Amino acid sequence: MKAELLSRIRDRKATVGVVGLGYVGLPLAMEFAKAGFRVIGYDVSERVCKLLMRGESHIQDVPASEVAALVKEGRFEATTDESALGRCDAISIAVPTPLSKTRDPDMRFVQAATEAIARNAHPGMLAVLESTTYPGTTREVMQPKLEERGLTVGKDVFLAFSPERVDPGNPKYHTKNTPKVVGGITEACTEVAVALYSSCIDTVVPVSTTEAAELVKLLENTFRSVNIGLVNEMAIVCDKLGVNVWEVIDAAATKPFGFMKFTPGPGIGGHCIPLDPHYLAWKMRTLNYKTRFIDLASEINSEMPALVVQKVSVALNDDRKAVNGSRVLVVGVAYKKDIDDIRESPALDVIRLLEERGADVVHHDPFIPRFRDDDHDGPDGAHRERVGVELTAAELGKADAVVIVTDHSQIDYQQIVDDAALVIDTRNATARSSRGRARVVSLAANPRPSGSGRGAEPLARTTVG
Ligand SMILES: NC(=O)c1ccc[n+]([C@@H]2O[C@H](COP(=O)([O-])OP(=O)(O)OC[C@H]3O[C@@H](n4cnc5c(N)ncnc54)[C@H](O)[C@@H]3O)[C@@H](O)[C@H]2O)c1
């Protein structure tokens, strides 16, 4: 079985399936197709499959022209018909792994995808889970389901875990040139999975087990979460001390060894960093261990939107205004710069907290002209769609406060500083702008407003949440 699969991969005769055609799955499917495989994308979303088959793309990093060409050449098809998986020799799974309301892993998507594969499994097939998950998932959740069909993993079928490391919007690193870690249930599983990914990814890094591969991803994202938590705390510290946090970070980053630059901000977002560490924390709770670094970083990072709103409130107060009734323009709602993803974005929390205090909030985001607001019910009980405003002198002039939440590159920060009265800059986006009409309030360490009897209250002296 193994030798035959390896030769089908080597000769590009293997058909590769990708389950879940989102931010991770679609770029991966494109790489397999460009490497010469015939690729079948299976997704439960009819909308996504139809759109791809029309030669369009719903993922910013994948050009529609690429999808259209591969569909036309018959090298890529997207389908909602799970029986198509039966035609695949190797399948990568990239379905969502969200958290439940109680912040426990929600494994429904992985389970459903595994069941679909198991129903269509045949001897000589390789399945690789790419979704971020807790250590043990591949062995404990997937292997038994495949073996229920009478197929032995490592002999009849092959099973591995390979964490996805896609960084949406990154102009330098994409699926092909980002090294890929692979760990199989058995050595044979690792060998075939390494062969598959080596066909289209520049560097493949084998590890000894699926658990090691699962943990690699969680270490990477926990590392980010903890370091962002640390630097967010440093912003609070700097605010108390009256020191400019950005200056401190930039100077520290001149150290050529032993320091890695992270920047503070309004909180963390996206499908990975706010969620993934909780997968590990949950797993460790089942083993009676409390992951203290994870919990502390999560606590600090999730308090940041409230701290931003506190900054807005204090800054408006210095202008003799209340949050209640003020018009606030939020600039940037994506969870990070230059992408169109609002999942878990701290901007959503900032908007919600401001509205709870009675502010009239509008937004501008060149990547997200409109979005569905899941926190707020509209007049008929349906979720409200928020339509963004243009960044004009009139809009900026109308706002009592402008809050820069996401520092998209294409935004004209000089215009904001020139035309707004008050700017709360959570990303240091206005650092290079010259002085304009606006009073600019930074996340940490602000000069006292001139002529006012009482200075802006340090961020960290305020109560949170
Ligand atoms: N987005 C990122 O930047 C990123 C980076 C690294 C890892 N990851 C991980 O990759 C996984 C996928 O994330 P994503 O951002 O691509 O998600 P996504 O929501 O963009 O895409 C997931 C797709 O899976 C489909 N789907 C859901 N259930 C399915 C099923 N049972 N069968 C077939 N298709 C199904 C959905 O319709 C959707 O199109 C997650 O575990 C995530 O943590 C994401």
Cβ of 197 below 6 Å from ligand 1:
no
Say if residue 44's pLDDT is above 90: yes
Cβ of 44 below 6 Å from ligand 1:
yes
**pTM reported for the whole predicted model:** 0.89
Q: What is the DSSP string of 371-412?
A: EEEEEEE-TTSSEEEEE-----HHHHHH-SEEEE-S--TTS-
pLDDT at 449: 46
Ligand 1 atom closest to residue 167's alpha carbon, by position in its atom list: 3
Tallying the residues shown for the chain, one arrives at 465
pLDDT at 377: 53
pLDDT tens-digit map of 395-422:
999 999 999 999 999 999 999 999 999 9
Cα separation, 303 vs 301, whole angstroms: 5
Say if residue 455's pLDDT is above 60: no
pLDDT at 167: 85
Cβ of 217 below 6 Å from ligand 1:
no
Cβ of 274 below 6 Å from ligand 1:
no
pLDDT tens-digit map of 11-31:
999 999 999 999 999 999 999
Cα separation, 105 vs 139, whole angstroms: 16
pLDDT at 271: 85
Which residue's alpha carbon is nearest to atom 10 within ligand 1? 131
Q: How far is the CA of 43 from the centre of ligand 1 (A)?
A: 10
Which residue's alpha carbon is nearest to atom 37 within ligand 1? 45
Say if residue 96's pLDDT is above 50: yes
Say if residue 124's pLDDT is above 80: yes
Which residue's alpha carbon is nearest to atom 36 within ligand 1? 20
Pocket test for ligand 1, best of 19, 21, 23 (most atoms within 8 A of CB): 23
Q: What is the DSSP string of 77-140?
A: EEES-GGGGGG-SEEEE-----B-TTS-B--HHHHHHHHHHHHT--TT-EEEE-S---TTHIII
Q: Are 402 and 331 in contact (CB under 8 A)?
A: yes
- pLDDT average, residue stretch 433-449: 81
Cβ of 272 below 6 Å from ligand 1:
yes
Q: How far is the CA of 98 from the centre of ligand 1 (A)?
A: 9
Cα separation, 280 vs 274, whole angstroms: 12
Q: Any catalytic annotation for residue 238? A: no
Q: What is the DSSP string of 430-456?
A: TTTSPP-SSEEEESS--PPPTT-SSPP
pLDDT at 459: 39
Amino acid sitting at position 73: E
- pLDDT average, residue stretch 329-335: 97
Q: How far is the CA of 228 from the centre of ligand 1 (A)?
A: 24
